[in-house]
């Protein structure tokens, strides 16, 4: 358990360690369902975890299938406090451009789900961060993630986009990519990913993230 939700539900992470012969590489953290109305991202993470049980990754890997568990169970984008967790991260842009429905909270990282994810990243020293979303079809990058984005694009066929097309103040990518300069990818997949054909589109790209040398 890495923390609890607003309603006290446990947030869990699955930890995979590489084989003893693997070259040391910076840890990776991958997560889904930071928006509760994007359940397909949970499926992506669960399927990847199932595969890593059978074939361990090439680097220390942490998978958080669901960040916004209360929102997922309620079918809502925001958490139980009606906060958009992907606008709640601590960075200079937090609280700017307050579009309707994108409530950033009363203060940066004042939500337990945001705190849990941030604490995990800090604790394990992760440098490769993969956020799974829906419903667009793209590989978005921040920080030093451009090369990885193009490599993933070649494997899944999704276009590479550096600009989401709208402002994202207080977002995960802004904090860890723009501000911290880490390797950040936002993988946006259609809801059709729930079928086998959709999963196969992104499977190789996700495996690449946890197997590729730094």
Q: What are the residue ranges spanned by the domains of the chain? A: 3-29+53-211
State the pLDDT at residue 192: 59
Please tell me the predicted confidence (pLDDT) of residue 103: 94
pLDDT tens, position by position, 71-127: 999 999 999 999 999 999 999 999 877 777 799 999 999 999 999 999 999 999 999
pLDDT at 125: 98
What size, in residues, is the chain? 214
Please give the average pLDDT of every successive group of 10 residues along the chain, which has 214 residues: 98 94 89 96 94 94 98 98 97 84 94 98 98 94 98 96 88 98 96 64 93 67
Class of domain 3-29+53-211: alpha beta
How many C-beta neighbours within 10 Å does residue 131 have? Answer: 25
What pLDDT shows up at residue 165?
80
**What is the separation, in whole angstroms, between the first and last Cα of the chain?**
28
Three-state DSSP at 176 gives helix
| Contact in structure between 179 and 131 (CB atoms under 8 Å) | no
Tell me the whole-structure pTM to 2 decimals: 0.95
What tokens appear for 17 in the block?
């360690």
Phi/psi for 4 (5° steps) reads -130, 155
Peptide bond into 171 cis (omega under 30): no
Task: Return the DSSP state at 23.
Answer: P
Answer for the pair 126, 27: CB distance below 8 angstroms, yes or no: yes
CA dist 79 and 73 (Å) reads 10
pLDDT for 100: 78
What is the structure's pLDDT at 213?
61
Q: What is the DSSP string of 55-123?
A: S--SS-EEEES-S-HHHHHHT-SS-TTS--GGG-S-STTTT-S--TT----SSTT-SHHHHHHHHHHHH
């Amino acid at each position: 358990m890495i923390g609890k939700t607003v309603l006290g539900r446990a947030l869990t992470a699955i930890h995979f360690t590489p084989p003893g012969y693997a070259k040391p590489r910076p840890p990776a953290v991958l997560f889904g369902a930071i928006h509760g109305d994007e359940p397909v991202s949970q499926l992506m993470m669960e399927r990847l975890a199932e595969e890593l049980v059978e074939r361990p990754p090439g680097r220390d890997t942490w998978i958080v299938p669901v960040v916004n568990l209360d929102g997922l169970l309620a079918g809502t984008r925001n958490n139980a406090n009606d906060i958009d967790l992907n606008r709640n991260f601590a960075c200079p842009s937090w609280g700017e451009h307050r579009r309707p429905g994108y409530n950033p909270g009363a203060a940066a990282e004042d939500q337990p789900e945001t705190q849990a994810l941030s604490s995990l990243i800090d604790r394990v020293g992760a440098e490769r961060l993969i956020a799974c979303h829906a419903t667009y079809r793209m590989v978005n990058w921040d920080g030093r993630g451009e090369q990885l984005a193009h490599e993933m694009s070649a494997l899944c066929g999704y276009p590479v986009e550096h600009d989401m097309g709208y402002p994202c103040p207080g977002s995960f990518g802004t904090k860890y990519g723009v501000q911290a300069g880490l390797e950040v990818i936002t993988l946006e997949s259609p809801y059709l990913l729930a079928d086998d054909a959709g999963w196969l589109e992104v499977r190789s790209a996700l495996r690449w993230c946890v197997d590729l040398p730094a």
